[in-house]
Structure 1
Amino acid sequence: MASESPQPYRVLARKYRPQSFAELIGQDAMVQTLGNAIKRDRLAHAFLLTGVRGVGKTSTARLIAKALNCIGPDGQGGPTIEPCGICDPCVAIAEGRHIDVVEMDAASHTGVDDVREIIEAVRYAAVSARYKVYIIDEVHMLSKNAFNALLKTLEEPPAHVKFLFATTEVNKVPVTVLSRCQRFDLRRISADQLAAHFEAVAGAEGIEVEPAALALIARAAEGSARDGLSILDQAFAHGAGGVTADQVRAMLGLSDRGAVRRLLGLLLAGEARAALAAVKDQYELGVEPSALIRGLLESVHGITRAKVGGVEDPAQSVEEREAYADWASALSYATIHRLWQLLLKGLSEVHGAPLPLEAAEMALLRVIHASELPDPGALAERLANGENIAVAPQSKPPVEGEQAPLLRAPADFAALVELVAANGKPHLAQQLHDYCGLVRYQPPDLAIRPSKPLAGEFARDLAALLKQATGTVWTVGVVDSPAEPSLLEQEQMEKERLRQSVLETPIVRAALDAFPDAELAGFTLEDQRSA
């Protein structure tokens, strides 16, 4: 007797595809809405399921088809949010062989002829099911003519027909189609829910996985159950009887967290040579430069959460939490935010650079250079106290007997305008005076909001003049934010206030009462005081 051939291996993403709404994780609101609609017999004729890849759009469409056509174990049941899974329609739909449940991939059937086949077929009743169901995956791939051909049937389909559309790019679906469908936005699945799901899958497969490894896989999945199960499948193959966090990091090319923390410490200490050596070591171990900077970003985020008292991340070790707590107590919010922005800019540069490693090194050197710069807030406070702040160039150390340029910041915005005029730029000063409202004045940081368009080089020219006049680099921002009235408007408002005060004086009021047609032609402050 010949032995039975072994069953072919099924990947986890297919093996553990949800077979009931109870197994569909992270979509409780949608399940509740569908359940109420089925109970109250208020089912729409067309559903549109949208969301990122791997959150369960196609699985949900098949579950809806089962829910609509389930007849129960005794063959007498009706539509239900809890299909039995054992009746003939449920089994046939689950196996993809039900004659009345038609699945079409719009990516490979984009033309009007493909839609015309559906339009012709909907006129005929279902062969054996309660409803004839059409599941069209990636519906946004249909051509414009195909959408137009489907509109009339979609708006008034026969009572025995239901349409289920799935798409990852709902913005590409015509509004005329959206308005004819009941839309469900499937949410990204949270990392905690994914980790719990992967733990259950690992238990069912009889493979031990460290909780930290599950957390790493859930984070790498980015809200997609299918992506996470694919990574978990790969981790099972990578490990030998079990899966550890170190194995997952190596498999995904993630930087070792301890190495990232050491690198961050070198950056904060200004150790440029040691930091570059650490980057080279990680690169030789196979860590991509972008992954290294992402690791630094995660560390800065972890420090921020530690500073505000956020919920502990299960993927973090005890040593990592202690290091974050120490940095959180030592670093100010301004420093942390500056680190985040510099690293974020560096990551975008690495992604687009022809030489990623060199781009990463330059980005990290910029972080070290920025850590040596004085804090603008502290500078402003010292200036307000009347101190002279010496700013030495970073490119060379100060030499004895050599005086660094002094930051001679104007006391306020009005003084700054006077400084611009005194340095041979009266037209620039007039524009600042007449058309610019002050948003922020924290030398050497200036932000203004113009009331009329300014020349494209206005901010550049102003920053260059201020650098020459004060001896330091200024940041001039032209922003669209709430601002004070311009200096000209303030002067006009003050003049009007004085005018109203003159009109309210007894002698002027008496004169206007005696001569109603009279007007106040002008006045001086001396006139007001004498009055």
Structure 2
Amino acid sequence: MENYIVSARKYRPSIFSSVVGQQSITVTLKNAIKNNHLAHAYLFCGPRGVGKTSCARIFAKTINCSNISSDFEACDECESCVAFNESRSYNIHELDAASNNSVEDIRTLIDQVRIPPQIGSYSVYIIDEVHMLSASAFNAFLKTLEEPPAHAIFVLATTEKHKILPTILSRCQIFDFNRIKVEDAVKHLKEIAIKESVIIEEEGLNVIAQKADGAMRDALSIFDQIVSFSGKEISFENVIQNLNVLDYDYYFKMVDAFLDGKVTDVLLMLNEIIEKGFDGHHFVAGLSAHIRDVLVGKDPVTIQLLEVSDSVKQKYVDQSKKCPLDFLYEALKILNQCDISFKGSQNQRLLIELSLIQLSQIIELKKKGLKLNLNSKKLQKIIVEGEAISAVVKQPEPQGNNGKATQTVSDTGQTYNSKKEKSKGVTVSPKSNFASSVSIKQAMNSGNTRSTNAAKPIDKKAISFAEVVVVGNEPITQEKVEAKLKEYIIAKGKSDRIRLAITVNKPKILDSNRVVLMVSNPLQEDDVIAVKNEVRNYLKKELNNSEIQIETEIIQIITEKRMYTDSDRFNYLCEKNPALGLLKHKFALDFE
């Protein structure tokens, strides 16, 4: 029975052209061989399974080949190449730094470097996982690495470049290997499948490449595993079943259910996914990635970012046409919050279900206009300009007039017809001025006819209250202002925090109409600024002065310096009587 060799070893690259996904590095190495510009030390770094050690072996084999081809590849026929292929070459030495990381091991290597090659021109020393060397071993290696014999070339390989001493890095030419792209991995797997007479769907190869996460060795190991599971004919279902990967179709069906608002279907699909043994957190991450891919598929420029097969890519493009942009943005926001809260949740399944219900309601709420849009021009006009705010405040029609029109006189003397104005949703209170009857909450509910449950709170600092129309200019006094500020706190039902910010310190009266509210710290100043316009309107009306202005000022608290040491006390006494300082200096006195 023939011995089985895994694909990662059987199809390991033997020439530069067979290296997958590292074209820039292989071209650089071939040009160095072509121009005879060989450095004495190289450092190959990058993720696992991307071809670092393979490239080092190919490089060592090629520079010792006696019959290099026209494209500067090893011939695989000369004595040096044959010896290398049969693992009996004395020109190429591989050292595992993970198990040979002491100073003694490096000393042995240094002694070995002095021996010239038997066949070929160079002795190549490949040190794998070089970051595992101890600091002492690195220091012992420095001199030899910087000035090796003319026949010696060092190729260091590592997955963790940051752990290598800067003095080592400065002595090497550094090559950074990239993760293998999905399309490159799929292409290589196709070639191997043909050589092994394996029939496999391209979508399955995409799943294998994505699961490998940029490592070609991992992709080949997964490929062998699935061949052992399914035989020579492999379907997409075989791949996802063996790798325990959730099918694309679940995500596509779930997004379609979100768009149709089918909460029941969504919850049933979630139950089916969990019963198949899939982790809830992985499902949330997968759904987030799917929504991201749908968003990427909306723009022809970004479609190239999708690392899937052409058939699946078309599915994303088709679904992206059905998904509004605001739906995708909101969905990503909800799923991101679910991902953040997942580990700390006591009922993780309920958290996922609530998130899916929210996703199913995005389109429905949008159709009903239940989402509060603080950027809408209509709402901004109401809030900022105070335009017709009272016109959107609905109140019950007065009883006892038998439906007859009544006239109401405002503070400014203007007459309103309550019957006519009610048809427009207008009611003006006879005992309140135009702006003091403002209710932002009622304005939003009436002007937008939206559910109060869906409304979002508005930042009070962003609200500019309508100015009170006052024609008087009566003088103001300290006592009147203090009294009216206390009345304002009670009348408006303000919190203790606002009360302390406004009344804990006495205000100043400047220029007969400037009221300076004294606060103790910046936090109190922020609280006062948030209600400054409202306070100004209240004082204007109550004090009948149209020119009142409100300012804030932080009290500067000067604390007396305390004397803790003898030196502090002596300096204080010197300020009172300078002769003490002269006395100390003249007689060279010191403290006890």
Q: Quick check: 1:342 aligned with 2:334?
A: yes
Q: Quick check: 1:386 aligned with 2:377?
A: no
Partner of 1:102: 93
RMSD value, Cα: 4.0
Partner of 2:4: 9
Shift of 1:322: 5.1
Shift of 1:320: 7.8
Counterpart residue type for residue 45 of structure 2: T
| 1:204-252 CA distance string (max 9 Å, x none) | 0011111211222222222211111111111212223311111111111
Shift of 1:315: 4.3
Larger Rg: 2
Q: In structure 1, list runs of 5 or more residues that go unmatched.
A: 1-5, 392-396, 430-453, 470-486, 489-531
With over 3 angstroms needed to count, the CA separation of the structure-2 counterparts of 1:280 and 1:329, relative to structure 1, is: closer
| 1:430-452 CA distance string (max 9 Å, x none) | xxxxxxxxxxxxxxxxxxxxxxx
Of the three residues 118, 124, 127, the one matched with 1:133 is: 124
Counterpart residue type for residue 390 of structure 1: N
Counterpart residue type for residue 89 of structure 2: H
CA distance in 2, matches of 1:185, 1:63: 17
CA distance in 1, matches of 2:56, 2:310: 40
The aligned runs of 1:280-295 (5 Å cut-off) are 280-295=271-286
* TM-score normalised by the chain length of structure 1: 0.68
CA distance in 1, matches of 2:29, 2:214: 22
Shift of 1:124: 2.1
Shift of 1:411: 8.4
CA distance in 1, matches of 2:456, 2:246: 44
Worse overlay, 248-257 or 49-58: 248-257
CA distance in 1, matches of 2:280, 2:453: 41
| 1:102-133 CA distance string (max 9 Å, x none) | 11112222222221211121122223342111
Of the three residues 180, 188, 191, the one matched with 1:197 is: 188
| 1:473-497 CA distance string (max 9 Å, x none) | xxxxxxxxxxxxxx99xxxxxxxxx
Partner of 2:147: 156
Worse overlay, 206-215 or 84-93: 84-93
Shift of 1:183: 0.6
Partner of 1:512: none
Q: Quick check: 1:45 aligned with 2:40?
A: yes
CA distance in 2, matches of 1:353, 1:404: 24
| 1:19-55 CA distance string (max 9 Å, x none) | 1001012111112211221122111101100111111
Counterpart residue type for residue 78 of structure 2: C
Counterpart residue type for residue 241 of structure 2: A
CA distance in 1, matches of 2:90, 2:327: 64
Partner-residue secondary structure (3-state), 1:389: helix
CA distance in 2, matches of 1:319, 1:131: 50
Counterpart residue type for residue 225 of structure 2: Q
Shift of 1:93: 2.2
With over 3 angstroms needed to count, the CA separation of the structure-2 counterparts of 1:128 and 1:369, relative to structure 1, is: same
Q: Judge conservation of contact 2:98–2:133 (CA < 8 Å) in 1.
A: yes
Q: In structure 2, list runs of 5 or more residues that go unmatched.
A: 384-442, 467-488, 503-520, 535-550, 553-592
Shift of 1:406: 8.3
The aligned runs of 1:296-375 (5 Å cut-off) are 296-309=287-300, 310-311=302-303, 315=308, 321=314, 324-332=317-325, 334-347=326-339, 350=342, 357=349, 360-361=352-353, 363-364=355-356, 367=359
Of the three residues 157, 164, 168, the one matched with 1:166 is: 157
Counterpart residue type for residue 218 of structure 1: A
Counterpart residue type for residue 49 of structure 1: F
* TM-score normalised by the chain length of structure 2: 0.62
With over 3 angstroms needed to count, the CA separation of the structure-2 counterparts of 1:136 and 1:345, relative to structure 1, is: farther
Q: Judge conservation of contact 2:202–2:309 (CA < 8 Å) in 1.
A: no
The aligned runs of 1:103-122 (5 Å cut-off) are 103-122=94-113
